[in-house]
A = this chain, B = another copy of it.
Amino acid sequence: MQDLTEIFATIKHLFDEQQFCFEPTELYEPIDYTLRLGGKRLRPALLFASNQMMGGEMEQAMSAAVGIETFHNFTLLHDDVMDRSPLRRGQPTVWTRWDENTAILSGDTMFALAWRYFLKKPHANLQAILDCFNETAIEVCEGQQYDMNFERRDEVPLDEYMMMIRKKTAVLLAGAMKIGAMYAGADEEDLRHLYDCGINMGLAFQIQDDLLDAYADQNTFGKPIGQDIRDHKKTYMILRALELCNPTQREELKSLYNTDRHDEKSVNAVLEKYDELGMKAHAEEEIVRLMKIAENELAEVKASDERKTPIKELISTLIGRQR
Protein backbone atom coordinates (compact mmCIF):
# COMPACT_ATOMS: atom_id res chain seq x y z
CA MET A 1 0.00 0.00 0.00
CA GLN A 2 1.20 3.51 -0.79
CA ASP A 3 0.87 6.34 1.70
CA LEU A 4 -0.18 9.81 0.55
CA THR A 5 3.38 11.00 -0.09
CA GLU A 6 4.03 7.93 -2.20
CA ILE A 7 0.79 8.44 -4.13
CA PHE A 8 1.79 11.99 -5.04
CA ALA A 9 5.29 10.78 -6.00
CA THR A 10 3.73 8.10 -8.23
CA ILE A 11 1.57 10.73 -9.92
CA LYS A 12 4.52 13.05 -10.46
CA HIS A 13 6.53 10.21 -11.98
CA LEU A 14 3.56 9.22 -14.14
CA PHE A 15 3.25 12.71 -15.61
CA ASP A 16 7.00 13.13 -15.99
CA GLU A 17 7.18 10.07 -18.21
CA GLN A 18 4.19 11.00 -20.41
CA GLN A 19 4.77 12.24 -23.92
CA PHE A 20 2.51 15.19 -24.74
CA CYS A 21 4.45 16.65 -27.68
CA PHE A 22 3.42 15.51 -31.12
CA GLU A 23 2.97 17.17 -34.50
CA PRO A 24 1.74 19.83 -35.16
CA THR A 25 3.74 21.46 -32.36
CA GLU A 26 1.45 24.54 -32.44
CA LEU A 27 -1.31 22.26 -31.13
CA TYR A 28 0.64 20.11 -28.67
CA GLU A 29 3.12 22.57 -27.12
CA PRO A 30 0.39 24.38 -25.15
CA ILE A 31 -0.86 20.98 -23.95
CA ASP A 32 2.61 19.99 -22.80
CA TYR A 33 3.04 23.41 -21.13
CA THR A 34 -0.24 23.04 -19.26
CA LEU A 35 0.20 19.45 -18.11
CA ARG A 36 3.81 20.06 -17.01
CA LEU A 37 2.90 23.09 -14.89
CA GLY A 38 1.59 20.61 -12.37
CA GLY A 39 -0.91 22.06 -9.98
CA LYS A 40 -2.12 19.99 -7.04
CA ARG A 41 -3.04 16.95 -9.14
CA LEU A 42 -5.75 16.35 -6.66
CA ARG A 43 -8.06 14.40 -8.94
CA PRO A 44 -5.55 11.67 -9.85
CA ALA A 45 -4.63 11.47 -6.15
CA LEU A 46 -8.27 10.95 -5.18
CA LEU A 47 -8.64 8.37 -7.94
CA PHE A 48 -5.57 6.43 -6.79
CA ALA A 49 -6.36 6.68 -3.07
CA SER A 50 -9.88 5.46 -3.68
CA ASN A 51 -8.70 2.66 -5.95
CA GLN A 52 -6.21 1.50 -3.35
CA MET A 53 -8.75 1.71 -0.54
CA MET A 54 -11.01 -0.68 -2.44
CA GLY A 55 -8.15 -3.12 -3.03
CA GLY A 56 -7.42 -2.17 -6.63
CA GLU A 57 -4.12 -2.45 -8.42
CA MET A 58 -2.74 0.99 -9.10
CA GLU A 59 -1.30 -0.10 -12.42
CA GLN A 60 -4.81 -0.64 -13.75
CA ALA A 61 -6.02 2.84 -12.81
CA MET A 62 -2.93 4.75 -13.96
CA SER A 63 -4.17 5.64 -17.39
CA ALA A 64 -7.50 6.91 -16.04
CA ALA A 65 -5.60 9.04 -13.49
CA VAL A 66 -3.76 10.81 -16.31
CA GLY A 67 -7.05 11.02 -18.21
CA ILE A 68 -8.97 12.75 -15.45
CA GLU A 69 -6.21 15.31 -14.90
CA THR A 70 -6.02 15.94 -18.66
CA PHE A 71 -9.78 16.50 -18.71
CA HIS A 72 -9.57 18.87 -15.72
CA ASN A 73 -6.87 20.89 -17.46
CA PHE A 74 -8.93 21.05 -20.64
CA THR A 75 -11.71 22.72 -18.65
CA LEU A 76 -9.18 25.18 -17.18
CA LEU A 77 -7.93 26.16 -20.67
CA HIS A 78 -11.45 26.96 -21.84
CA ASP A 79 -12.58 28.52 -18.54
CA ASP A 80 -9.59 30.85 -18.66
CA VAL A 81 -10.61 32.04 -22.14
CA MET A 82 -14.23 32.53 -21.06
CA ASP A 83 -13.28 34.28 -17.81
CA ARG A 84 -10.40 36.24 -19.42
CA SER A 85 -8.05 35.02 -16.66
CA PRO A 86 -4.46 36.11 -17.29
CA LEU A 87 -2.78 33.77 -14.78
CA ARG A 88 -3.08 30.15 -13.71
CA ARG A 89 -0.74 28.52 -11.19
CA GLY A 90 1.25 31.76 -11.25
CA GLN A 91 2.00 31.42 -14.97
CA PRO A 92 0.43 33.01 -18.07
CA THR A 93 -2.68 31.17 -19.23
CA VAL A 94 -2.59 29.53 -22.67
CA TRP A 95 -4.83 32.14 -24.31
CA THR A 96 -2.54 34.96 -23.09
CA ARG A 97 0.76 33.18 -23.82
CA TRP A 98 -0.42 31.98 -27.24
CA ASP A 99 -3.88 33.15 -28.34
CA GLU A 100 -7.56 32.33 -27.97
CA ASN A 101 -7.73 29.99 -30.95
CA THR A 102 -4.85 27.97 -29.53
CA ALA A 103 -6.57 27.69 -26.15
CA ILE A 104 -9.79 26.55 -27.83
CA LEU A 105 -8.24 23.95 -30.14
CA SER A 106 -5.56 22.65 -27.78
CA GLY A 107 -8.31 22.39 -25.17
CA ASP A 108 -10.51 20.37 -27.52
CA THR A 109 -7.57 18.09 -28.21
CA MET A 110 -6.97 17.62 -24.47
CA PHE A 111 -10.56 16.44 -24.06
CA ALA A 112 -9.93 13.84 -26.78
CA LEU A 113 -6.55 12.94 -25.21
CA ALA A 114 -8.35 12.36 -21.90
CA TRP A 115 -10.51 9.84 -23.74
CA ARG A 116 -7.44 8.23 -25.25
CA TYR A 117 -6.09 7.63 -21.73
CA PHE A 118 -9.42 6.24 -20.55
CA LEU A 119 -9.64 3.91 -23.55
CA LYS A 120 -6.07 2.64 -23.19
CA LYS A 121 -6.69 -0.08 -20.61
CA PRO A 122 -9.40 -2.68 -21.24
CA HIS A 123 -11.58 -3.37 -18.19
CA ALA A 124 -14.63 -5.59 -17.62
CA ASN A 125 -16.45 -2.53 -16.35
CA LEU A 126 -15.15 -0.07 -18.95
CA GLN A 127 -18.49 1.07 -20.36
CA ALA A 128 -19.77 2.01 -16.88
CA ILE A 129 -16.50 3.80 -16.11
CA LEU A 130 -16.67 5.78 -19.36
CA ASP A 131 -20.33 6.61 -18.68
CA CYS A 132 -19.42 7.95 -15.28
CA PHE A 133 -16.57 10.02 -16.74
CA ASN A 134 -18.72 11.42 -19.53
CA GLU A 135 -21.76 12.29 -17.41
CA THR A 136 -19.36 14.06 -15.05
CA ALA A 137 -17.90 15.98 -17.99
CA ILE A 138 -21.37 17.13 -19.05
CA GLU A 139 -22.16 18.31 -15.51
CA VAL A 140 -18.90 20.26 -15.36
CA CYS A 141 -19.91 22.10 -18.56
CA GLU A 142 -23.34 22.81 -17.08
CA GLY A 143 -21.69 24.11 -13.91
CA GLN A 144 -19.53 26.53 -15.86
CA GLN A 145 -22.64 27.76 -17.71
CA TYR A 146 -24.50 28.37 -14.42
CA ASP A 147 -21.46 30.20 -13.09
CA MET A 148 -21.47 32.49 -16.15
CA ASN A 149 -25.24 32.94 -15.87
CA PHE A 150 -24.87 34.02 -12.23
CA GLU A 151 -22.47 36.79 -13.22
CA ARG A 152 -25.29 38.45 -15.14
CA ARG A 153 -27.82 38.08 -12.33
CA ASP A 154 -28.39 40.61 -9.61
CA GLU A 155 -29.10 38.10 -6.87
CA VAL A 156 -28.68 34.34 -6.66
CA PRO A 157 -30.33 32.17 -3.98
CA LEU A 158 -27.81 30.18 -1.94
CA ASP A 159 -29.29 26.82 -2.96
CA GLU A 160 -28.73 27.65 -6.63
CA TYR A 161 -25.15 28.56 -5.81
CA MET A 162 -24.69 25.21 -4.07
CA MET A 163 -26.12 23.43 -7.13
CA MET A 164 -23.65 25.33 -9.34
CA ILE A 165 -20.53 24.50 -7.29
CA ARG A 166 -21.75 20.92 -7.05
CA LYS A 167 -21.59 20.67 -10.84
CA LYS A 168 -18.61 22.91 -11.49
CA THR A 169 -16.31 21.56 -8.77
CA ALA A 170 -17.70 18.73 -6.67
CA VAL A 171 -18.78 16.20 -9.31
CA LEU A 172 -15.29 15.84 -10.74
CA LEU A 173 -13.75 15.19 -7.32
CA ALA A 174 -16.56 12.73 -6.58
CA GLY A 175 -16.20 11.22 -10.06
CA ALA A 176 -12.46 10.70 -9.51
CA MET A 177 -13.15 8.79 -6.30
CA LYS A 178 -15.91 6.74 -7.90
CA ILE A 179 -13.87 5.88 -10.98
CA GLY A 180 -10.90 4.81 -8.84
CA ALA A 181 -13.20 2.46 -6.94
CA MET A 182 -14.83 1.17 -10.14
CA TYR A 183 -11.41 0.05 -11.39
CA ALA A 184 -11.10 -1.91 -8.14
CA GLY A 185 -14.49 -3.56 -8.72
CA ALA A 186 -16.27 -1.92 -5.76
CA ASP A 187 -20.00 -2.65 -5.38
CA GLU A 188 -22.80 -0.14 -6.08
CA GLU A 189 -23.32 0.66 -2.40
CA ASP A 190 -19.67 1.55 -1.81
CA LEU A 191 -19.58 3.54 -5.04
CA ARG A 192 -22.55 5.58 -3.86
CA HIS A 193 -20.97 6.30 -0.49
CA LEU A 194 -17.67 7.28 -2.09
CA TYR A 195 -19.41 9.52 -4.60
CA ASP A 196 -21.42 11.26 -1.88
CA CYS A 197 -18.28 11.63 0.20
CA GLY A 198 -16.62 13.33 -2.78
CA ILE A 199 -19.59 15.63 -3.42
CA ASN A 200 -19.73 16.92 0.16
CA MET A 201 -15.97 17.26 0.35
CA GLY A 202 -16.06 19.17 -2.96
CA LEU A 203 -18.71 21.56 -1.68
CA ALA A 204 -16.70 22.13 1.51
CA PHE A 205 -13.58 22.67 -0.60
CA GLN A 206 -15.26 25.40 -2.65
CA ILE A 207 -16.76 27.13 0.38
CA GLN A 208 -13.33 27.11 2.00
CA ASP A 209 -11.99 28.74 -1.16
CA ASP A 210 -14.66 31.42 -0.84
CA LEU A 211 -13.90 31.84 2.86
CA LEU A 212 -10.16 32.17 2.32
CA ASP A 213 -10.71 35.00 -0.15
CA ALA A 214 -12.01 37.04 2.76
CA TYR A 215 -10.26 35.58 5.81
CA ALA A 216 -6.94 34.02 4.74
CA ASP A 217 -3.71 35.04 6.41
CA GLN A 218 -2.39 37.62 3.94
CA ASN A 219 1.21 36.60 4.70
CA THR A 220 0.81 33.01 3.57
CA PHE A 221 -2.08 33.35 1.07
CA GLY A 222 -0.98 33.45 -2.56
CA LYS A 223 -3.54 36.00 -3.75
CA PRO A 224 -4.66 39.42 -2.50
CA ILE A 225 -7.49 39.28 0.03
CA GLY A 226 -10.90 40.30 -1.33
CA GLN A 227 -10.30 39.51 -5.01
CA ASP A 228 -13.74 37.88 -5.29
CA ILE A 229 -15.25 41.11 -3.94
CA ARG A 230 -13.32 43.22 -6.47
CA ASP A 231 -14.53 40.86 -9.24
CA HIS A 232 -18.15 41.04 -7.96
CA LYS A 233 -18.11 37.25 -7.90
CA LYS A 234 -21.07 35.38 -6.52
CA THR A 235 -19.57 33.40 -3.63
CA TYR A 236 -20.82 31.56 -0.58
CA MET A 237 -19.71 34.56 1.51
CA ILE A 238 -21.80 37.22 -0.18
CA LEU A 239 -24.82 35.05 -0.93
CA ARG A 240 -25.06 33.69 2.60
CA ALA A 241 -24.44 37.19 3.99
CA LEU A 242 -27.32 38.55 1.91
CA GLU A 243 -29.59 35.84 3.29
CA LEU A 244 -28.65 36.75 6.86
CA CYS A 245 -29.44 40.44 6.34
CA ASN A 246 -32.74 42.14 7.00
CA PRO A 247 -34.26 43.85 3.90
CA THR A 248 -32.63 47.26 4.60
CA GLN A 249 -29.20 45.77 5.28
CA ARG A 250 -29.56 43.62 2.16
CA GLU A 251 -30.01 46.60 -0.19
CA GLU A 252 -27.08 48.34 1.50
CA LEU A 253 -24.79 45.32 1.18
CA LYS A 254 -25.85 44.69 -2.42
CA SER A 255 -25.09 48.21 -3.54
CA LEU A 256 -21.82 48.15 -1.59
CA TYR A 257 -20.79 44.82 -3.17
CA ASN A 258 -21.73 45.97 -6.66
CA THR A 259 -19.74 49.22 -6.44
CA ASP A 260 -18.51 49.91 -9.99
CA ARG A 261 -14.81 49.99 -9.18
CA HIS A 262 -13.78 48.71 -5.79
CA ASP A 263 -10.98 50.42 -3.87
CA GLU A 264 -9.38 49.35 -0.59
CA LYS A 265 -12.03 51.24 1.34
CA SER A 266 -15.05 49.63 -0.33
CA VAL A 267 -13.50 46.15 -0.13
CA ASN A 268 -12.86 46.69 3.57
CA ALA A 269 -16.43 47.90 4.02
CA VAL A 270 -17.69 44.58 2.62
CA LEU A 271 -15.28 42.68 4.85
CA GLU A 272 -16.58 44.65 7.86
CA LYS A 273 -20.14 43.67 6.95
CA TYR A 274 -19.00 40.05 6.85
CA ASP A 275 -17.55 40.51 10.34
CA GLU A 276 -20.75 42.08 11.65
CA LEU A 277 -22.76 39.17 10.28
CA GLY A 278 -20.32 36.61 11.69
CA MET A 279 -19.61 35.22 8.21
CA LYS A 280 -16.34 33.55 9.19
CA ALA A 281 -18.13 31.40 11.75
CA HIS A 282 -21.08 30.74 9.44
CA ALA A 283 -18.85 29.52 6.61
CA GLU A 284 -16.72 27.42 8.97
CA GLU A 285 -19.83 25.87 10.41
CA GLU A 286 -21.04 24.94 6.94
CA ILE A 287 -17.65 23.45 6.06
CA VAL A 288 -17.69 21.39 9.26
CA ARG A 289 -21.25 20.27 8.54
CA LEU A 290 -20.39 19.14 5.00
CA MET A 291 -17.17 17.46 6.11
CA LYS A 292 -19.10 15.56 8.77
CA ILE A 293 -21.38 14.17 6.03
CA ALA A 294 -18.34 13.32 3.89
CA GLU A 295 -16.73 11.47 6.81
CA ASN A 296 -19.92 9.57 7.56
CA GLU A 297 -20.18 8.48 3.95
CA LEU A 298 -16.57 7.32 4.00
CA ALA A 299 -17.20 5.45 7.26
CA GLU A 300 -19.90 3.42 5.51
CA VAL A 301 -17.49 2.15 2.86
CA LYS A 302 -16.55 -1.51 3.37
CA ALA A 303 -12.77 -1.18 3.77
CA SER A 304 -10.33 -1.35 6.69
CA ASP A 305 -9.29 1.79 8.56
CA GLU A 306 -5.75 1.20 7.41
CA ARG A 307 -6.84 1.26 3.75
CA LYS A 308 -8.82 4.44 4.38
CA THR A 309 -5.85 6.31 5.87
CA PRO A 310 -4.44 7.92 2.67
CA ILE A 311 -7.81 9.21 1.48
CA LYS A 312 -8.62 10.54 4.95
CA GLU A 313 -5.27 12.34 5.03
CA LEU A 314 -5.87 13.71 1.56
CA ILE A 315 -9.27 15.07 2.54
CA SER A 316 -7.97 16.68 5.70
CA THR A 317 -5.00 18.29 3.89
CA LEU A 318 -7.46 19.68 1.40
CA ILE A 319 -9.89 21.14 3.81
CA GLY A 320 -7.46 22.01 6.57
CA ARG A 321 -5.22 24.04 4.26
CA GLN A 322 -4.29 27.52 5.43
CA ARG A 323 -6.76 27.62 8.27
Interface of A is mostly: helix
Q: Choose the segment among A137-145, A172-180, A200-208, A239-247 that binds chain B (4+ C-beta atoms closer than 8 Å).
A: A137-145
Contact of A105 among B112, B116, B131, B141 (CB under 8 A): B141
- Per assembly, the copies of the chain total 2
Inter-subunit contact A122/B127 (CB<8 Å): yes
Instruction: For chain A, residues 110 to 134, give those with C-beta under 8 angstroms from any C-beta of chain B.
Output: 111-113, 115-116, 119, 122, 126-127, 130-131, 134
Inter-subunit contact B82/A104 (CB<8 Å): yes
Instruction: For chain A, residues 1 to 38, give those with C-beta under 8 angstroms from any C-beta of chain B.
Output: 23-24, 26-27
Inter-subunit contact A138/B122 (CB<8 Å): no
Range for the number of chain A residues in contact with chain B: 35 or more
Most buried by B among A24, A78, A108: A108
Closest B residue to A110 by beta carbon equals B141
Chain B residue contacts of A27, Cβ below 8 A: 141-142, 145
| A314–B107 alpha-carbon span in the complex (Å) | 34
**Distance in Å from the Cβ of A276 to the closest Cβ of chain B?**
34
Closest B residue to A23 by beta carbon equals B142
